[in-house]
Every structure is written in C-alpha cells, then in structure tokens.
C-alpha cells in the first residue's frame, strides 16, 4: 500500500513476514523483495535530492514478536537486527525490502530478562538489560540457539535504568534513561572500554538540551547509536518523543522533537549508507520500523 505523506512524498507501508522467511518461499518472494529494494533506493535518491530528511522513505509494520521492540543494531556489513524486551530472541530485518530474514535465540533454554538495547561490534553481539547486565554472544543461523556469557561492567549506582547501548571502536556506550534523583534530569552516558574496569561518564546537562529549543522536563533516553561519518551519538527518547545528537564529549549538536508519526520510539540506528532507522513499539497501533533518508537536521 502506498500512503502519501503531508509533503506528497510516497511512503511504502508493508507487513513483514509473520515468521522468518526462508529461501524455499520461492521466486515470487524474491521478486517482490527485489522490487521493494529498487523502490526503496529510488525513494532515498529522490528524498536526498529534494532535501527531504524529515520524510520517511519506508515504514514497515513489525511482526507480533517485535510488538515491544526495544533495540536496533547493525552489523559492519549493514544487516539490521532487532529484539523485544522480554526474551533473548534476535531478528534480522532487511530494512530495504521489509523481510524478516531470520530469527535466532539465546539458549539452550529460553532466556528471559528485561532486555532494553543491542549493540554489535565486528562479529560480537551484546544485549543489555535495564540494570546494566550484558549478554555477549555470536550470531546464530535461522532457528538456532546460541551460547552466551554475561558481564556486569562497573557502571556505578547513579543510574536506575539503562535503555541504550552502542558500539564505538573498543568501547560500549551506555545511555541512562533514568538517573537517581540526586542527579536531577541530566542525561548521562557511560563509555566502557570492553573487557576492562575502565568506565568514563559523560554528563549532558538538561539545561543545555533545553537551551537548544526543546522544552522537555527531561530526556529519557530509550536508545543510542553512533554515526559512522562524524562519530557523534544520536539518541531517541520514548516519553518525550525526542531526538538528540551529541559529540562524544557531550556537546549538543541538535535537539528536536521527532515527526508526529512516532508514538513510542525505542530503537535507533544509522546505516553506513547514511539512512536513519527508528523503531516504535506497539501503542494502540502496530510496532513499526521507519526509515529516513538521512539523519535529521
């Protein structure tokens, strides 16, 4: 189905497969996927030529198991993975064609936890719980259960709840959604050098965020990603429906509301080709993955 946005730019809205799609689905699925990818590439090109950074080039409705999508992350070769917030199930999604490529899980038995974020560095995956525990594992095949190990980086006791995680060189960057009351409404990021006891906290005062024109009482970070072109961090906040870009030192580049179509943003990612991906969990309507031609300005 094609829906015209306010700017009359076409947005493709299609359902993902309800289960992981496999090669035996036949040539028809392959043709449909190829057609969607071609349409996607054309829309990205047109949007960039027209300066339409705020207009989606695709919006994909997520399948039932991702109704409470909590995080997004991309592999070095730009394959997108997403997860929900209750079980250790990972979904590979082709964001260009709207196809769920595969699903694999932490095992050998079902793993349940309050999973809030995902990061990928080289071939290593990390799932993060709200209390700062990491589940580390390697990518699995479709339907496979993979072994994992856990770690608890020394993040301190200043943050009550974590919801964002990003990989940056030899570090993982944690975004605190809710700091303890003593720290007010400021935003805190934690950079952990992987495998070490070294943690650096970056404090971003709420007043400096509000000074950029955003009137939020706080910025409840629900996910974080790293731009490969600039090295800056981009974040979304679900309750505020906000978008923030900061330098690694915490200097604010941009603070603004998200477009109105985002009801509960929970995941964000940046592709090496420059597209911006935002996932919204189900809130009265289906969970969705929205693709923009480039980061907001």
Residues 201-247 have pLDDT tens digits of 999 999 899 888 778 888 999 999 999 999 999 999 999 999 999 99
pLDDT digits (tens, 9 = 90+) for 149-196: 999 999 988 899 999 999 999 999 999 999 876 666 789 999 999 989
Section 74-91 average pLDDT: 96
pLDDT at 10: 35
**Across all residues in the chain, what is the average pLDDT?**
89
Angstrom distance (rounded) from CA 16 to CA 164: 25
The residues near 72 (Cβ < 8 Å, ≥ 6 apart) are 80, 81, 82, 118, 223, 225, 267, 268, 269, 277, 279, 289
Q: Where are the alpha helices (DSSP H) in the chain?
A: 27-50, 206-210
pLDDT digits (tens, 9 = 90+) for 255-272: 999 999 999 999 999 999
State the pTM of this model. 0.91
Domains (range + CATH), the chain: 2-292 (2.110.10.10)
Q: How many other CB atoms are there within 10 angstroms of residue 128's CB atom?
A: 26
Q: Identify the CA nearest to 72 among candidates 162, 165, 194.
A: 165
Over 60: is that where the pLDDT of 20 sits?
no
Percent of the chain scored above 70 by pLDDT?
89
pLDDT at 215: 80
Angstrom distance (rounded) from CA 63 to CA 70: 14
Pull the structure tokens for residue 184. Answer: 């007010």
């Amino acid at each position: 189905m094609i829906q015209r946005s306010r700017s009359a730019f076409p947005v493709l809205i299609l359902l993902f497969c309800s289960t992981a799609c496999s090669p035996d689905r036949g040539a028809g699925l392959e043709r449909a996927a190829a057609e969607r990818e071609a349409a996607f590439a054309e829309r990205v090109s047109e949007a960039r030529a027209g300066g339409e950074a705020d207009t989606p080039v695709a919006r994909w409705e997520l399948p039932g198991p991702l109704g409470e999508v909590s995080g997004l992350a991309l592999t070095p070769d730009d394959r997108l993975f997403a997860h929900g917030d209750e079980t250790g199930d990972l979904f590979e999604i082709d964001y260009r064609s709207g196809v769920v490529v595969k699903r694999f899980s932490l095992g050998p038995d079902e793993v349940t936890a309050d999973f809030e974020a995902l990061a990928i560095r080289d071939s290593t995956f990390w799932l993060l719980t709200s209390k700062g525990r990491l589940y580390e594992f390697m990518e699995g095949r479709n339907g496979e259960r993979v072994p994992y190990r856990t770690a608890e980086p020394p993040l301190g006791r200043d943050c009550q709840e974590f919801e964002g995680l990003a990989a940056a060189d030899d570090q993982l960057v944690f975004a605190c959604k809710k700091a303890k009351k003593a720290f007010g409404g400021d935003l805190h990021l934690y950079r952990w050098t992987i495998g070490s006891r070294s943690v650096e906290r970056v404090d971003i005062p709420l007043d400096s965020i509000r000074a950029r024109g955003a009137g939020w009482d706080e910025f409840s970070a629900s996910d974080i990603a790293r731009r490969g072109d600039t090295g800056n961090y981009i974040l979304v906040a679900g309750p505020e429906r906000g978008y923030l870009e900061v330098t690694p030192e915490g200097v604010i580049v941009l603070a603004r509301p998200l477009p109105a179509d985002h009801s509960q943003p929970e995941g964000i990612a940046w592709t090496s080709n420059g597209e911006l991906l935002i996932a919204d969990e189900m809130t009265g309507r289906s969970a969705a993955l929205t693709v923009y031609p480039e980061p907001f300005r």
